[in-house]
Amino acid sequence: MANILLVDDRPENLLALEGILLPLEQDLLYAHSGEDALRLLLLNDVAVILLDVQMPGLDGFETAALIKHRERTRHIPIIFVTAISKGEEHVFRGYSAGAVDYVFKPFNPDVLRSKVAVFIELHEKTEQLRRQAELLKEQELAELRRESEERYRFLAEAQPDQIWTATPKGQLDYVNQRALDYFDASFAAMVEQGWTEVIHPEDLGRTLERWQHALDTGHLYENELRLRRAADASYRWHLTRAVPMQDRRGEIVKWFGSNTDIHDQKRAEEAQRFLVEAGATLGGSLDYRTTLAAVAKMAVPRIADWSRVDILEHGKLRTLAVEHVDPAKLELALELARRYPEDPDAAQGPPLVLRTGSSELVTEIAEETLAELAVDDLHLGLVRELGFQSYMCVPLLARDRVLGVISFVAAESGRRYGPDDLALAEELARRAGTAIENAQLYREVEERAQAARVLATVADGVFLVDREGVVRLWNEAAEAITGLPREGVVGRSAEEVLPGWSHLAARVPIAGAPGPAASETMPLELAGGERWLSISGVGFDEGTVYAFRDLTEERGLEEMRQDLVATVSHELRTPLAAIYGSALTLARDDLELEPALNTKLLGVIVDESERLADIVNDLLLASQLDAGKLEVRIEHCDARSLTESVVEAARTHLPEDLTLELEAAEADLPPVAADEGQLRQVLGNLIDNAIKYSPDGGDVRIRLEPADQCVRFAVADRGLGIPSGEQARIFEKFYRLDPHMTRGIGGTGLGLYISRELVRRVNGRIWVEPNDGQGSVFYVEIPAASEPLGGNRPRKAASAPA
Ligand code: ADP
C-alpha cells in the first residue's frame, strides 16, 4: 500500500477527494495547509500528492517548491487541483514548480482517479526496483564478506603462528589448525574450555588479568606465557598478542589474536643470563667446595627442582651439596644421598657419567623404572616422595679429569629436560670446572711465586737440572756465588755451564723428595777461580734440585790455619834447635872449647835468635796488616841510597856461589814517597828471596830506574823461577810453592804477602815476571814524591788500592 497525500484548506474538498480516491484502496493522508503537508512528508513515504493551489499561509506553489527542494521528497509527483487559478500563467507556474499535472475543477472523478492510479503504480514499480537493487547489493556484500572471511582464514591457516579470533566479550570463535594441533583439541573443545586449561599455572593469573584489561579498555593485548604442548606435555613460551577490530562507530566487533612460539629464543636468553650470573658466582671463590655448593644452589629452581653435586674422593663418589626447591624436601634428598650411596658399577646415573665422562639425559622417567632401580621399599619411598619426572647428569671436568658429577632432577615443576637443557647443564658444569681449574692454577701460581720469593732470598745457591740435564732454575744466590748470571745458565746444559758437572753430579748425594740430603763438598772450576761448594740434591719427577753453599772461604781459612801451624812450627823449630845445640855445647864443662869455636857458637845463637825475632816480627806485622793497625809514615826517600844500604846488608851473608849487583840508572832518580823502614823491608825481602831461591848460585841483579811518575825497583835472579800460574798466588798469605820444603828451603810464606801489603799502602805496585830463560824478576814501583811534604804525616794503613 502506498500513501496518497491530499492537501487542501477546505475540509469539504478533502472529503470530495477522499470519495474519488477511496476505490484505489490506498492509504490517504490529509493535510490542511502547506505546513501541514510538509510535516506529514517528513514522517511518511508518499507515492503522489494532490495539492490545492490557493491556501492561506503557504500556497500550493510555495509548498511544491519546498517539497521539490528537499532531497527526500523531490521525486514525488505533484498534481495541482484548483477551481480558481485557471489562468495560463498559473498553469505555467504550476508546471515550473515541478507539477506533473494541473487539474481544474470541476473534474471528472474517473480521470483523476486513473491519473493518481498511474502514479501509484509508478511508485510501486520504483519501490520494487529499489528493493530489488537493495537485495542485490546485500547479496553481493554477503558474498564479498564471505570471500574476505575465507581469504582471512586462509591467511590464518597459512601462518606458522597460532591464530585465533574472539568475540568482543572474549569468547573464542576461531582457532587455526596449527593451534588445534598444538593443543591436540577440537575447535569445539577449545571454544568450550578456553585457554585456562593449557596455560602454565604460574602464568595464568597474570594472563587473565591482562586479557580482562584489554577487553575492558579495548587496548592491544600482549603477554608472554607458557602454553602446554599436547605432544609431550611440555610448556613452551609464547608471545600472545590480540588487536581489536572496530566498526565505523568505534565499537569492537572482533579480537584478532596470535600466539608466537618464542620458547627457544626465551630459553637461550634465559640460559645466557643464567650463565653470566653463574660466571660471576663461580669466580667468587678459590675453594672448590664452595664453588660446587654454589653450582647446586644456582641450578635450583632455574634448571632443576633439585640438584646434587657428587665429587670423586678416594675413588668413590661423595655427595658434596644438595639443593631442593622445597626446603621441606631437602632433608629427604640428603637422606637419600646418605642412606643410598651410589653403586660405583651402576649402569646409569652418576657412576655411569663418572666412568664415561659423558652426560646422561632421561627426558621422561617412568614409574616402573623407579621401582626397578630402587634398592628397597624405603629407597623407593624416598625417590617417589622426591619425585623424579625428568633427569640429567653431567660430568664435572677440570683439566681433562672428571672431578665429579652434577645431577639435575625435574619433579613438581613438571618440566621435561631436552637437549637444550642438557646443553645448558653441560655449559654450567664446564664453567664450574673452569672455575675450579682457575682456582687451582691460581693457588699453584701463588705457591710458585712464594717459592720463587723464598728462592730469591735464601743464601744458598739453588738450581734445578731437568731430566735432559738442562738447567731450569738458577737463583740469585747461585748467581752471586758462582758469578754466572741466570741468563747465561738457564736453558743450557749443566755440563756446558759448569765444567766437569756430569762427573761431579755423580758424587752429589741425592735424596728422594722431600727428605733432606747429606751434602758433599767439592771444588768447582769457575772463571773467578776454584770454588769449594758443599752440594746436596733432591730428586723429583722432573729432575733434580741442587742446593749449594760456598765453603771456599772456610776451606781457605782452614787450609791456611793448617799451613800456618805446620810452617811456623817448622820455622821456629829450626833456629831453636840451632840455639839449643849451641847453648848445650857451650854449657858443657867436660869439654874445653877452642876460643874460635866458642865465638862461632855464640854467633850461631845470636844469628838464630835474630832469625827467630824476624819470624815473630813477620807474624806480628802480618796480623797488624790484617787488622789495619799498621801505621805508615810517608816521607821523601832517596831510592838509590836506600837500595845501596839494603844491598850492602845482604852482601854480609851472601853464599859464595852468588853475586849481587846493583845497577843504578844513570839519570837522576826522584825521591819516592814512602815509609822508609817499610820500603827497606820490602827490598830486603825481595833480595833475600832472590838469594834463597837460587840454591845453585848465579847472579842477582838489582836495577833502579825512573818510570811514569814513579821509581821502579827490579830484583832479578837466575834461581828456581815461578810457574806462570802461581805468579799471583805467591803474594797470598802463607802461600809457598814448595810447602813441604822438598828443596830444603824454609820460610813462612809471609814475606811477599807483607811486601805486597806495604807497597799497596803507599799506592805502589808489586809483581813478578820470568827472567828470560831462568829465574824471576820482581818489580816494585813506588810513586815519586811530586811535591815537598809538609813534614812527616803518620797515617793509618787502610784499604789502599793495590
Ligand atoms: P817464604 O820465602 O818465607 O816462603 P815468601 O812470601 O817470601 O815466603 O815467598 C812465597 C813463596 O814464593 C816462596 O815460598 C817461594 O816458593 C816463592 N818465591 C819467592 N821468591 C822467589 C824467587 N825469587 N824465586 C823463586 N821462588 C820464589
How does the average pLDDT of the chain come out, rounded?
A: 87
User: What is the Cα–Cα distance from 682 to 119, expressed in whole angstroms?
Assistant: 171
Site of grid cell 658444569: 429
Can you tell me which residue has the cell 574450555? Answer: 193
Q: What angle do CA 170, 172, 174 make, to 5 degrees?
A: 140
Distance CA 630, CA 254 (A): 122
| Residue in the structure block whose three cell numbers are 634448571 | 303
Strand partners, 524: 531
Q: Tens of pLDDT along 150-209?
A: 888 888 888 889 999 999 999 998 899 999 999 999 989 888 888 888 999 999 999 999
- Residue 664's pLDDT is 76
**Is the four-CA dihedral 330, 336, 338, 343 of positive or negative sign?**
negative
pLDDT tens per residue, range 101-150 = 888 888 888 998 999 999 999 999 988 998 999 999 999 999 988 888 88
Residue 278 has pLDDT above 80, yes or no: yes
Instruction: Give residue 731 CA to ligand 1 midpoint distance, Å.
Output: 9
The residue assigned the cell 653431567 is 394
How far is the CA of 750 from the CAs of 615, 628, 633, 731, 735, in angstroms? 9, 16, 22, 8, 8
DSSP string, 480-493: HHH---HHHHTTSB
The pLDDT score that the predictor gives to residue 787 is 62
The residue-averaged pLDDT of 402-419 equals 86
* Protein residue with least CA distance to atom 19, ligand 1: 689
Of the candidates 772, 758, 668, the one whose C-alpha atom is nearest the C-alpha of residue 711 is 668
The letter for the amino acid at 230 is A
Output the CA 750–ligand 1 centroid distance in Å: 9
Q: Give the count of beta carbons closer than 10 Å to the beta carbon of residue 393.
A: 26
SS3 571: helix
pLDDT band at 677; cut points 50, 70, 90: very high
In the three-class reduction of DSSP (H, G, I as helix; E, B as strand; rest coil), residue 395 is classed as strand
The full length of the chain comes to 802
**Residue 738 alpha carbon, nearest atom of ligand 1:** 16
Closest C-alpha residue for ligand 1 atom 20? 689
Can you tell me the mean pLDDT for 282-303?
Answer: 81
What pLDDT is recorded for position 797?
42
CA distances from 435 to 154, 286, 400 (A): 55, 8, 14
CA distance 476 to 457: 8
18 lines ligand 1 (CB under 6 A): no
As given in the structure block, the three cell numbers for residue 261 are 612460539
**Minimum-distance ligand 1 atom for the alpha carbon of 750:** 6
Which residue lies with its CA nearest to atom 11 of ligand 1?
A: 736
- What is the atom index within ligand 1 of the atom nearest the CA of 775? 24
Whether residue 13 is predicted with pLDDT greater than 80 in this model: the reply is yes
Burial 714-739 (b: 16+ CB within 10 A, else e): bbbbbbbbbeeeeeeebbebbbbbee
Backbone torsion region of residue 38, taken as left when φ is above 0, otherwise alpha when ψ lies between -120 and 50, otherwise beta: alpha
What are the residues facing 462 on neighbouring strands?
547
**Given a cut of 90, is residue 682 above it in pLDDT?**
yes
Q: What are phi and psi of 137, to 5 degrees?
A: -60, -40
Predicted confidence (pLDDT) at residue 571 exceeds the cutoff of 90: no
Q: pLDDT value at position 794?
A: 46
Here the cell at position 635 is 816521607
Q: Position 800: which residue type?
A: A
pLDDT tens digits, one per residue of 597-651? 889 889 989 988 988 898 888 888 888 888 888 889 999 999 999 999 999 999 9
CB-based contact 12:52 (threshold 8 Å)? no
Residue 736 alpha carbon, nearest atom of ligand 1: 14
| Tens digits of residue pLDDT in 699-757 | 999 999 998 899 999 999 999 999 988 898 999 888 888 877 788 888 888 899 999 99
pLDDT digits (tens, 9 = 90+) for 315-357: 888 888 888 888 888 888 888 888 888 888 888 888 999 989 8
CA quadruple 682, 687, 693, 696: dihedral, nearest 10: 180
- Decide if pLDDT at 359 tops 90: yes
Residue 747 Cα to ligand 1 midpoint, Å, equals: 8
Percent of the chain with pLDDT over 90: 38
What's the CA-to-centroid distance between 730 and ligand 1, angstroms?
7
Whether 329 and 306 have beta carbons less than 8 Å apart is answered as yes
Q: What is the pLDDT of residues 44-71, one digit of tens each?
A: 999 999 999 989 989 999 999 999 999 8
The number of angstroms, rounded, from the C-alpha of 67 to the middle of its chain's C-alpha atoms is: 95
pLDDT of residue 516: 60
The kind and range of the H/E element at 390 are: strand 390-398
pLDDT score of 2 = 87
Does pTM top 0.95 for this prediction? Answer: no
Task: Phi first, then psi: give them for residue 618, nearest 5 degrees.
Answer: -60, -45
Q: Which residues contact 502 (CB under 8 A, 6 or more apart)?
A: 469, 494, 495
What spacing in Å lies between the alpha carbon of 749 and ligand 1's midpoint? Answer: 7
* Whether the Cβ atoms of residue 612 and residue 572 lie closer than 8 Å to each other: yes
Cell numbers given for 412: 613438581
Predicted confidence (pLDDT) per residue in 767-793, tens digit: 999 998 899 999 999 999 876 554 444
Q: What is the CA radius of gyration of the chain?
A: 67
Q: Which candidate, 652, 669, 668, places its Cα nearest to that of 660?
A: 652
DSSP notation for 493-545: BHHHHSTTHHHHHTTS-EEETTS----EEEEEEETTEEEEEEEEEEEETTEEE
Strands (E), 326-413: 360-362, 390-398, 401-410
Cα(702) to centroid(ligand 1), Å: 17
Three-state DSSP string of 593-624: CCHHHHHHHHHHHHHHHHHHHHHHHHHHHHHH
Q: Please, what's the b/e burial string for 273-285 (b: 16 or more CB within 10 A of its CB; e: otherwise)?
A: ebbeebeebbeeb
Paired strand residues for 703: 663, 714
Cβ of 752 below 6 Å from ligand 1:
yes
What's 784's DSSP letter? B
- Choosing from 693, 699, 741, 777 the residue with most ligand 1 atoms within 8 A of its CB, the one to mutate for a pocket test is 693
Left (φ > 0), alpha (ψ -120 to 50) or beta: where does 530 sit?
beta
Instruction: Give distance in angstroms: CA of 601 to centre of ligand 1.
Output: 29
Q: Given ligand 1 and candidates 611, 619, 699, 736, which is best to mutate, with the most ligand atoms within 8 Å of its CB?
A: 736
**What integer pLDDT is reported at residue 802 of this predicted model?**
39
Nearest ligand 1 atom to alpha carbon 752:
6
Omega before 106 within 30 of 0, i.e. cis? yes
How far, in Å, is the centroid of ligand 1 from the Cα of 578? 23
**Does the pLDDT of residue 83 top 60, yes or no?**
yes
Amino acid letter, residue 578: A
Residue 301 burial class via C-beta count within 10 angstroms: exposed 0-12, middle 13-18, buried 19 and up: middle
